[in-house]
Amino acid sequence: MKQRVAKCIAKRVAIVGKFSREFDECRTAVKKYGNCHIQIVSSRPEIVISFGGDGTFLKAEARYPGVPKLAVREAREYGACKTSRLSQILPLLACEKYHKVSYLKLACTVRRKRKIIAAAEALNEITLRNKNLGCALRYRLMVNKKAQGGRGRQHEIIGDGVVVATPFGSSGYYSSIARRTFRRGIGIAHNNSTNIIPPHVTHEKSRVRINILREEGQLCADNQRRVVKVAAGDTITIAAAKRPAIVLQKTKEQSHDALFWYV
């Protein structure tokens, strides 16, 4: 019997990297493999190659949200074993020999007097911090309309802010506060709150609402440069985004270790 040969389909591929040499490596690998199946583009890509570490991957997702990502790292920079060459990975893209794995993302909106003034999505976390280091932020946090922690009738929480994270992002800023990670749901960790509020993981379909009661704060998503200023009276809503992040992996496992291809 004749073996079935996987049909290669031409792919529009964008590259996101930190250094020019990363772009050069990708272009060289494409040239070796053959331009008939891989075309490097900057707009409307079908696949995005993220060449670098965690920050580069988050940058790639922010630039091309929802587009399938191939996360590539140089093994020598991260003390890992080299598993393959970039020129060996490219044929897998054209022949679609990979697993498409979905990762939960968070969608955040900021309302001021019932008007949306900002919106963002995050693969790692949404971070709220006090703007003035000398003044603690005062806010109320509710999960599915039920107040969490805090004091008094307003369930006021006083502290430096709060981190709302995904399972993927739980090994980052969230774990620095909570000292642990989680595999499912949405994690909430308060930063230096005056009254001790244990980290809490709620269902991934939950809706988190934060009301700023006093002082000013700053809000950001992942490592994005844009910072949103919030003030008393503002309402922040965080929930699972409609579209997840799609990662092209060797296995179906949802984990930070399974994410990267080392070259």
Residue entry with tokens 């949802």: 254
Which pLDDT value is given to residue 186? 98
- Ordered by where they begin, the domains of the chain are 11-103+244-262 (3.40.50.10330), 106-240 (2.60.200.30)
Share of the chain above pLDDT 70, in %: 89
Look at residue 207 and tell me whether its pLDDT is greater than 60.
Answer: yes
pLDDT of 143-178, one tens digit each?
A: 999 998 877 778 999 999 999 999 999 999 999 999
Long-range pairs for 79-87: beta carbons < 8 A, 24 or more residues apart: 80/262, 81/262, 82/262, 82/263, 83/261, 83/262, 83/263, 84/261, 84/262, 84/263, 85/29, 85/263, 86/25, 86/26, 86/29, 86/263, 87/29, 87/32, 87/33
Give every CB contact of residue 86 below 8 A, 6+ residues apart in sequence: 25, 26, 29, 72, 263
**Mean pLDDT, rounded, for 43-52:** 90
Q: Give residue 128's identity as a one-letter amino acid code.
A: L
Which residue type does 86 have? L
Q: In degrees to the nearest 10, what's the CA dihedral of 106, 250, 23, 36?
A: -120
Contact 256, 67 (CB under 8 A): no
Q: What is the pLDDT of residues 107-139, one digit of tens each?
A: 999 999 989 999 999 999 999 999 988 899 999
Q: Which of 93-107, 168-182, 192-206, 227-241 has the lowest mean pLDDT?
A: 93-107
Cα–Cα dist 54/241, whole Å: 20
Position 221 scores a pLDDT of: 96
CB 256 within 8 A of CB 200: no
**pLDDT over 70 at 83, yes or no:** no
Residue ranges of alpha helices (H) inside the chain are 20-33, 54-63, 75-78, 86-94, 173-178, 256-259
pLDDT of residue 41: 86
Whether 190 contacts 149, CB under 8 Å:
yes
Residue 36 has pLDDT above 70, yes or no: no
Residue 139: closest CA among 78, 69, 88, 215: 215
Mean pLDDT of 58-75: 91
Reply yes or no on whether the pLDDT at 257 is more than 90: no
**pLDDT beyond 50 at 3:** no
pLDDT in tens, 174-196: 999 999 999 999 999 999 999 88
Is the model's pLDDT at 42 over the cut of 70? yes
Weakest-pLDDT range from 67-81, 125-139, 223-237: 67-81
- Give the SS3 label for residue 73: strand
Instruction: For helices 20-33 and 86-94, give the axis angle rounded to 10 degrees.
Output: 60
Which residues, 6+ apart, have CB-to-CB distance to 79 below 8 Å? none
